Structure 1
C-alpha cells in the first residue's frame, strides 16, 4: 500500500474512533450504559487499528524508509491524537453519568 493511502487509512480509523466516542457519550446521557460501553469499545478497536498503522510507519522510518512529512500526515496525526483524547474523556464522562444516575436512583 502506498504512503498516501496508508495515511488516509489512519485518518479514517481515527475519525471513526472519534465518532464512536461521541456516540458513547450520547448513550450515557440517555442512561444507556451498556450501549455506551459497547460503543466505547468500538472506539477503542478503531484506535487500535489506527495505532497499528502509526506503529508500522514508525517502524518503517526506524528501518531506514523515509517518508515526507506532508500536511496530510500532520492532519492524520492530529486526528489520531484528538480521537485518543476524546476516547479517554468519553470513558470518564460515561463513568460520571453512571455514578450520577446511581446516586439519583437511590
Structure 2
C-alpha cells in the first residue's frame, strides 16, 4: 500500500515539536525559570501555528473540491494537532500555579 506522507507528516512533526516545547516549558515553570518558560512556550506556539497552517491548507484543498483521501493516517495527524493545542493550553494553566506562588 502506497501512502503519501506529504499530507499528514507536517501535522505530526509540527504538533510533536509544539508538545515537546510545552512540556519543557512546564519543567522550567516548576524550576521557577520564568525566562525559560516564556522562551519554550513561544516556541511551542510557533510550532502549533505551523501545524494549524498545514491543517488549514488541507481543509482548504478539500473545500475547493480537490480530492483529499481521508485515511487513518490523516485522521491520526489531525488528532495530533488537537492534542498539541490542548497540551499548550493546559501547560499555560498549570505553569501559572508554579509561577504565581
TM-score, structure 1 length as denominator?
0.88
Secondary structure in 2 aligned to 1:94? helix
- How far apart are 1:84 and its partner, in Å? 0.4
Distance across 2 between alignment mates of 1:95 and 1:34? 14
- Equivalent residue for 1:73? 74
Stretches of structure 2 that go unaligned for 5 or more consecutive residues are none
Alignment of structure 1 residues 10-21 onto 2, 5 Å: 10-21=11-22
How many residues get paired? 99
Deviations 1:31-76 (A, max 9, x none): 1011111101100000010000001111111101121111111110
Secondary structure in 2 aligned to 1:6? coil
Distance across 2 between alignment mates of 1:7 and 1:41? 24
TM-score, structure 2 length as denominator?
0.92
Whose helix fraction is larger, Structure 1's or Structure 2's? 1
- Equivalent residue for 1:27? 28
Distance across 2 between alignment mates of 1:6 and 1:29? 37
List, as ranges, runs of 4+ consecutive aligned residues in structure 1 with deviation greater than 6 Å.
none
Stretches of structure 1 that go unaligned for 5 or more consecutive residues are 101-106
- Equivalent residue for 1:98? 99
Secondary structure in 2 aligned to 1:17? helix
